[in-house]
């Protein structure tokens, strides 16, 4: 019989494999009629796989295109398309250059033509053309501050949209009079289309006022001049876009349920919209684990509790980690000594925070194994250094970039 850790790792691996975007792109394009030129623009961490699938389906009907993904996320050349890599989560020079190229390709299209726009999370950092008066240094600095502030992605993107020419519907406006046919892989809770990759081809529901409120709420330092630039509104309606969501965290949770059932676990999807502080989620999951362990409720053992979402971290320390690693490490204390309990937390994109790990997996022996090395969980948590704690004891999960991006998957297994 496999260990409980092996089961958890198996379920997460198979679930992520099932939500790779190829099949979803192919079936979304089935039966769609395109009249004139098709220009492909793919952005985000899943851009390469989405573009390759579209190219396979439509072949030469795609006249040209640009793929912009994160460093190490391209799997090579795609015939007839230009493939670029750029900075994420903080944009860089290559972000601007590649976006410039995409804009050039969609200029001068007619109302008969279509931009096939393939969108996945990560697009905010990878696709950018700045408003007059905003510099790349401004954007890098503001992005860095926002990422550490504890602001959620919807809030972060309200600010990014109001500094940009392509976010918040701006790209669709640039493409006019051509139409935009957009396939979206969602990595935002509630599948908010104007937040995923900052919605370049979706009417923006956020306002300048709200962007400024985010700046105030989280104490983000910006140049005075930028306040006026933020006050220019994004498009609130667009008449040239059609959008389909082709994957989300709900789907990965459903697959995890199927896989866990196959292994004999009773299952429950507890939520697909987890959005609290990572370490609170970890402590809470540990409490549920103890409940099941002691009282066999709310599910009977063997059981798998499945969650999806995206927690936040107020990064105050100087250590290395990500929200999934921090969540896992903070859960370890609460399940100390329990046999056959495992808690796993993983980013489906394969990278958690600025690290080479996808997440972490802990069990009832994690605390003991750390103690044997003379290490104390709290010290690591206080320094936001979950990576190094989990690394020493082999509790990191490393997958490499997966080619998809549908938020985070959490598993609690008890048997």
Ligand X SMILES: O=C(O)[C@@H](CO)OP(=O)(O)O
Ligand Y SMILES: Nc1ncnc2c1ncn2[C@@H]1O[C@H](COP(=O)(O)OP(=O)(O)O)[C@@H](O)[C@H]1O
Residues near ligand Y (CB under 6 A): 89, 122, 147, 313, 315, 319-323, 326, 347, 349, 351-354, 384, 386
The least distance separating ligand X from the CB of residue 354, rounded to whole angstroms, comes to 12
C-alpha 206/C-alpha 232 separation (Å) is: 12
Of 7, 85, 128, 187, the one binding ligand X (CB under 6 A) is 187
C-alpha 136/C-alpha 128 separation (Å) is: 10
Asked if residues 66 and 102 have their Cβ atoms less than 8 Å apart, the reply is yes
Q: Is the peptide bond before 298 cis (omega within 30 degrees of 0)?
A: yes
Which partner, ligand Y, ligand X, none, binds residue 157 by CB below 5 to 8 Å per kind? ligand X
Q: Is 352 in the site for ligand X (CB under 6 A)?
A: no
Asked if residues 311 and 281 have their Cβ atoms less than 8 Å apart, the reply is yes
Stretch near ligand X under the rule CB under 6 A, chosen from 143-151, 172-180, 191-199, 326-334: 191-199
Among residues 306, 205, 264, 248, which one has the least CA distance to residue 415?
264
Which partner, ligand X, ligand Y, none, binds residue 198 by CB below 5 to 8 Å per kind? ligand X
Nearer to ligand Y, 202 or 380 (CB): 380
Q: Is 153 in the site for ligand X (CB under 6 A)?
A: yes
Which partner, ligand Y, ligand X, none, binds residue 123 by CB below 5 to 8 Å per kind? ligand X
Nearer to ligand Y, 21 or 322 (CB): 322
Among residues 57, 56, 53, 65, which one has the least CA distance to residue 115?
65
The least distance separating ligand Y from the CB of residue 278, rounded to whole angstroms, comes to 7
Which residues, 6+ apart, have CB-to-CB distance to 3 below 8 Å?
A: none
Q: Which residue spans within 255-387 are E strands per DSSP? A: 266-274, 303-309, 341-347, 359-363
Q: Is 157 in the site for ligand X (CB under 6 A)?
A: yes
Enter the DSSP assignment of 44.
S
Nearer to ligand Y, 298 or 354 (CB): 354
Pair type for strands 408-414 and 303-309: antiparallel
Q: Is 124 in the site for ligand X (CB under 6 A)?
A: yes
C-alpha 123/C-alpha 186 separation (Å) is: 11
Which partner, ligand Y, ligand X, none, binds residue 222 by CB below 5 to 8 Å per kind? none
Which partner, ligand Y, ligand X, none, binds residue 164 by CB below 5 to 8 Å per kind? none
Residue with tokens 């667009």: 238
The least distance separating ligand Y from the CB of residue 55, rounded to whole angstroms, comes to 25
What DSSP element (H or E) covers 387?
helix 386-392
C-alpha 136/C-alpha 171 separation (Å) is: 18
Q: Is 67 in the site for ligand X (CB under 6 A)?
A: no
Of 121, 168, 247, 359, the one binding ligand X (CB under 6 A) is 121
Nearer to ligand Y, 173 or 320 (CB): 320
Of 22, 61, 89, 290, the one binding ligand X (CB under 6 A) is 89
Segment 225 to 244, residues that bind ligand X, using CB under 6 A: none
Which residues, 6+ apart, have CB-to-CB distance to 197 below 8 Å?
A: 43, 44, 119, 120, 121, 122, 123, 124, 127
Nearer to ligand X, 210 or 340 (CB): 210
- The residue ranges that bind ligand X (CB under 6 A) are 45, 89, 121-125, 153, 157, 187-188, 196-198, 405
């Amino acid at each position: 019989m496999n260990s409980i850790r092996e089961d958890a790792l198996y379920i997460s691996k198979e679930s992520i494999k099932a939500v790779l975007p190829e099949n979803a792109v192919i079936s979304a394009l089935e039966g769609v009629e395109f009249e004139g030129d098709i220009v492909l623009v793919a952005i985000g961490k899943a851009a390469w796989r989405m573009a390759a699938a579209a190219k396979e389906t439509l072949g030469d009907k795609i006249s040209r295109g640009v793929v912009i993904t994160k460093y190490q996320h391209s799997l090579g050349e795609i015939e007839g398309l230009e493939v670029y890599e750029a900075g994420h989560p903080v944009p860089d020079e290559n972000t601007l250059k590649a976006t410039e190229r995409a804009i050039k390709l969609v200029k001068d299209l007619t109302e008969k033509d279509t931009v096939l726009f393939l969108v996945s999370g990560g697009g905010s950092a990878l696709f950018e053309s700045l408003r007059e008066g905003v510099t790349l240094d401004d954007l890098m600095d503001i992005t860095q501050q926002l990422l550490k502030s504890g602001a959620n992605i919807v809030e972060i993107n309200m600010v990014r949209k109001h500094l940009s020419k392509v976010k918040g519907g701006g790209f669709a406006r640039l493409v006019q009079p051509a139409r935009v046919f957009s396939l979206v892989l969602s990595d935002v809770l509630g599948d908010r289309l104007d937040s995923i990759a900052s919605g370049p081809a979706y009417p923006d529901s956020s306002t300048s006022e709200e962007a400024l409120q985010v700046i105030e709420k989280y104490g983000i330092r910006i140049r005075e001049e930028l306040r006026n630039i933020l006050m220019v509104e994004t498009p609130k309606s667009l008449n040239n876009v059609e959008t389909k969501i082709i994957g989300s965290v709900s789907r990965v949770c459903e697959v995890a349920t199927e896989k866990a059932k196959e292994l004999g676990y009773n299952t429950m999807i507890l939520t697909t919209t987890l959005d609290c502080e990572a370490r609170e989620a970890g402590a809470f999951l540990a409490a549920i684990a103890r409940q099941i362990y002691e009282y066999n409720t709310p599910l009977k053992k063997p059981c798998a509790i499945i969650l999806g979402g995206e927690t936040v971290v107020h990064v105050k320390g100087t250590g290395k980690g990500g929200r999934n690693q921090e969540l896992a490490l903070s859960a370890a204390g609460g399940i100390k000594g329990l046999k056959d309990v495992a808690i796993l937390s993983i980013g489906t994109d394969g990278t958690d925070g600025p690290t080479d790990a996808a997440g972490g997996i802990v069990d009832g022996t994690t605390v003991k194994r750390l103690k044997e090395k003379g290490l104390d969980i709290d010290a690591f948590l206080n320094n936001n250094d979950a990576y190094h704690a989990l690394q020493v004891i082999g509790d990191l999960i490393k997958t490499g970039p997966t080619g998809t991006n549908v938020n985070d998957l959490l598993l609690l297994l008890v048997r």
